[in-house]
Amino acid sequence: MKKNIDFDTIYWHDAVFCGLNIKKLSKKGSTMDIFFNIYLDDNSKNRINIKVTFKSVEQLLISTDFTELYNNKNAGNVNSLYHEDKFTFNLFGGLISLTTVRKPKVEIRN
């Protein structure tokens, strides 16, 4: 069963970056999905799979060390998230930064 959750309520500490997919490439703004495993809160014992969909993406910057991401996946390879004028995921082993004018949609996946 799929369920949506509010992006601003996600507990990013110890999350795991799993991958991304650029679904639509457009000069008016692209659409992309980023996949994570997250804890729902600091009391959760297990991570759940989520898909975060960003629409109207104007800029994207990705820099990763795949070995470092892999080595940190059990403990969680997401260090933090900042979002003011852009969304920046600081990873243990990289960085994903994107600019969009829309709030992302988050879907819990089975």
- Domain hosting 7: range is 3-109
Q: Round the average pLDDT of the chain to a whole number and report it.
A: 91
Does residue 51 contact residue 107 with C-beta atoms inside 8 Å?
Answer: yes
Examine the pLDDT at 75 and tell me if it is beyond 80.
yes
pLDDT tier at 4 (50, 70, 90 boundaries)?
confident
pTM of the model: 0.91
Q: CA 70 → CA 11, 17, 40, 102, distances in Å?
A: 20, 9, 22, 30
Report the pLDDT value the prediction gives residue 77, as an integer from 0 to 100.
Answer: 95
**Structural domains of the chain, count:** 1
Q: What is the pLDDT of residues 11-34, one digit of tens each?
A: 888 999 999 999 988 888 899 999
